[in-house]
Structure 1
Amino acid sequence: MATIDEILRVERIETDIYRGPSYPSVLRRTFGGQVAGQALVSATRTVPAEFGVHSLHGYFLRPGDPDLPTVFLVDRIRDGRSFVTRRVTGVQNGEAIFSMSASFHVGTDEGIEHQDPMPDVIGPEDIKDRRDAASEEDRRLYSEWENFDIRIVPRDQLVLSKSLAAQQRVWFRYRHRLDDSHVSQVCVLAYMSDMTLLASAKSVHDDHVQSASLDHAMWFLRPFRADEWLLYDQTSPSAGHGRALTQGRIFDRQGRMVAAVVQEGLSRIIADPTVQGIPLRDEKPDETTS
Structure 2
Amino acid sequence: MIGDEGRVSASGPTLLELLDLEELDRDLYRAGTVFDDPFALYGGQVAAQALLAAGSTVPRDRLVHSLHGYYLRPGNASQPTIFRVDRDRDGGSFSSRRVVATQDGEVVFSMSCSFHRLEPGLDREAHPAAEVAAPEDSCDYELPRLFSMRARLPPQPYPDARWPTRFWSRCALELPKDPLLHSCVLTYLSDISSGSAPLGEGDIGSGPSLDHAVWFHRQATLDDWVLMDLQPQTVAAGRGWYTGTMRSRTGELVASLTQETLFRAKRPSTGESDTSR
- TM-score class, shorter: 0.7 to 0.9
1:219 and 1:169 mapped to 2: Cα distance?
Answer: 18
Structure (1 or 2) with the greater helix fraction? 1
The equivalent position to 2:121 in structure 1, one of 98, 107, 110, is: 110
Alignment of 1:2-13 (within 5 A): 2-13=13-24
Tell whether the 8 Å contact from 2:13 to 2:33 is kept in structure 1 after alignment: no
In structure 1, the residue matched to 2:200 is 205
1:259 and 1:62 mapped to 2: Cα distance?
Answer: 26
CA RMSD of aligned residues (A): 2.3
In structure 1, the residue matched to 2:184 is 187
2:234 and 2:79 mapped to 1: Cα distance?
Answer: 35
TM-score, with structure 1 as normaliser: 0.83
Tell whether the 8 Å contact from 2:197 to 2:206 is kept in structure 1 after alignment: no
1:11 and 1:219 mapped to 2: Cα distance?
Answer: 27
Deviation at 1:150, TM superposition (A): 2.6
Alignment of 1:1-290 (within 5 A): 1-111=12-122, 113-131=124-142, 142=144, 144-155=145-156, 158=157, 168-196=165-193, 198=194, 200-208=195-203, 209=205, 211-270=207-266, 272=268, 275=271, 287-289=275-277
Deviation at 1:174, TM superposition (A): 1.1
Name the count of aligned residue pairs. Answer: 262
1:250 and 1:104 mapped to 2: Cα distance?
Answer: 19
Deviation at 1:243, TM superposition (A): 0.8
For the residue of structure 1 that corresponds to 2:254, the secondary structure is strand
2:188 and 2:123 mapped to 1: Cα distance?
Answer: 29
Check 1:273–1:183 CA distance in 2 against 1; reply closer, same or farther (3 A cut): farther
In structure 1, the residue matched to 2:9 is none
1:87 and 1:205 mapped to 2: Cα distance?
Answer: 34
Deviation at 1:108, TM superposition (A): 1.9
Deviation at 1:275, TM superposition (A): 4.1
For the residue of structure 1 that corresponds to 2:139, the secondary structure is coil
1:150 and 1:130 mapped to 2: Cα distance?
Answer: 5
Check 1:233–1:210 CA distance in 2 against 1; reply closer, same or farther (3 A cut): closer
Alignment-mate amino acid for residue 129 of structure 1: D
Tell whether the 8 Å contact from 1:210 to 1:270 is kept in structure 2 after alignment: no
Deviation at 1:273, TM superposition (A): 10
Q: Deviations over 1:76-132 (max 9, x none)?
A: 00000110000000011111111101100011242463342111111222332124x
TM-score, with structure 2 as normaliser: 0.87
Tell whether the 8 Å contact from 1:71 to 1:91 is kept in structure 2 after alignment: yes
Q: Deviations over 1:24-76 (max 9, x none)?
A: 14342110011001100100111011111111011111110111111111000
For the residue of structure 1 that corresponds to 2:173, the secondary structure is coil
Query: Is 114-123 or 104-113 further displaced after alignment?
Result: 104-113
2:206 and 2:190 mapped to 1: Cα distance?
Answer: 19
Q: Percent identity?
A: 38
Alignment-mate amino acid for residue 18 of structure 2: I
* Structure 1: gaps (5+ residues): 132-140, 161-166, 278-285
For the residue of structure 2 that corresponds to 1:187, the secondary structure is helix
2:14 and 2:82 mapped to 1: Cα distance?
Answer: 20
Check 1:247–1:96 CA distance in 2 against 1; reply closer, same or farther (3 A cut): same
For the residue of structure 1 that corresponds to 2:177, the secondary structure is coil
Deviation at 1:271, TM superposition (A): 5.1
For the residue of structure 1 that corresponds to 2:196, the secondary structure is helix
Alignment-mate amino acid for residue 94 of structure 2: F
* Structure 2: gaps (5+ residues): 1-11
